[in-house]
């Protein structure tokens, strides 16, 4: 495949459930913010964007999905749906970082850096630092971490922007970053249109994987560790 121009994308890594279809310069998006029910909504959203575009799965160049880090149940939903659709249509898959998808949605200038912060529950934050590239995509400048809010950004490149639902979940983190001169964007979730753009670039570069290798990335290894307080949503 010389260039991936038709890519279906799915992200259910947070409370935002979204599906997008990138068809050349046109992107069709469905997004809902849900406490639960992602598994019931994601396939109808897929059907909607395919019908609106007039395309079938067999006409696509690949499928991208938000591979995490994020809510464990949500990651399994996205990976499972992606595997099933891709196997049936014999398509390659692009597993896209959900933190990169946040960074790619920030209105930042070329060369600026973005600290993507997503809520990991249990009093922790998933985070990584990215740099904005000339084409609007992003490249990682750090590994992906999960840590208490006070450790977010430590021993990582300085960021000019910070974004993600972790900022709303942890106001003290947002205040600390703003005190350091970082511009914050608390309302940004990973979204399938960003996953589609990043996934299209991966597929065009030959970085896609077979469906059976499309696996979630949890970052937090202790997935069975119980929460210490009330937990809502998917996790």
Domain co-membership, 106 together with 172: yes
Domain co-membership, 181 together with 195: no
The answer to whether position 135 is within a domain reads yes
pLDDT of residue 220: 81
The answer to whether position 225 is within a domain reads no
- 194: domain CATH number? 3.30.420.40
Beta strand extents in 58-124 (DSSP E only):
62-68, 93-97, 113-119
Q: Higher confidence at residue 231 or residue 106?
A: 106
Domain co-membership, 176 together with 198: no
The answer to whether position 222 is within a domain reads no
Calculate mean pLDDT across residues 161-190.
96
Calculate mean pLDDT across residues 18-23.
98
Q: With DSSP H G I counted as helix, E B as strand and the rest as coil, what are the percentages for the chain, rounded to 5?
A: 30, 25, 40
Positive or negative, the Cα torsion across 83, 37, 125, 164? Answer: positive
Q: 82-139 pLDDT, tens per residue?
A: 999 999 999 999 999 999 999 999 999 999 999 999 999 999 999 999 999 999 999 9
pLDDT of residue 226: 36
Asked whether 172 and 6 are in contact (CB, 8 A), the reply is no
Domain co-membership, 40 together with 57: yes
The structural domain count of the chain equals 2
Domain co-membership, 69 together with 126: no
pLDDT of residue 234: 29
Domain co-membership, 132 together with 204: no
* Mean of the per-residue pLDDT values of the chain: 92
Domain span holding position 104? 99-185
Asked whether 69 and 121 are in contact (CB, 8 A), the reply is no
Asked whether 202 and 64 are in contact (CB, 8 A), the reply is yes
Domain co-membership, 60 together with 116: no
The answer to whether position 202 is within a domain reads yes
Domain co-membership, 82 together with 119: no
pLDDT of residue 5: 85
State whether residue 45 is helix, strand or coil.
helix
The answer to whether position 159 is within a domain reads yes
């Amino acid at each position: 495949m010389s260039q991936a121009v038709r890519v279906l994308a799915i992200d259910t890594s947070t409370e935002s459930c979204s599906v997008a279809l990138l068809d050349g310069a046109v992107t069709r998006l469905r997004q809902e913010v849900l406490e639960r029910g992602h598994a019931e909504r994601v396939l109808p959203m897929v059907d909607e964007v395919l019908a609106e575009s007039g395309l079938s799965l067999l006409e696509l160049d690949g499928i991208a999905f938000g591979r995490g880090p994020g809510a464990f149940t949500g990651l399994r939903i996205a990976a499972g749906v992606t595997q099933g659709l891709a196997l049936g249509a014999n398509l390659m898959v692009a597993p896209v970082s959900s933190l990169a998808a946040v960074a790619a949605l920030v209105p930042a200038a070329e060369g600026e850096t973005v600290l993507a912060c997503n809520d990991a529950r249990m009093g922790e934050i998933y985070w990584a630092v990215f740099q904005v590239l000339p084409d609007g995509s992003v490249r990682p400048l750090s590994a992906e971490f999960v840590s208490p809010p006070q450790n977010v950004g430590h021993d990582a490149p300085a960021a000019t922007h910070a974004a993600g639902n972790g900022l709303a979940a942890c106001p003290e983190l947002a205040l600390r970053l703003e005190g350091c001169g970082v511009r914050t964007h608390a309302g940004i979730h990973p979204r399938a249109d960003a996953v589609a753009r990043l996934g299209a670039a991966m597929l065009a570069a030959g970085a896609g994987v077979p469906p059976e290798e499309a696996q979630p990335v949890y970052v937090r290894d202790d997935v069975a560790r119980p929460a210490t307080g009330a937990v809502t949503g998917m996790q």
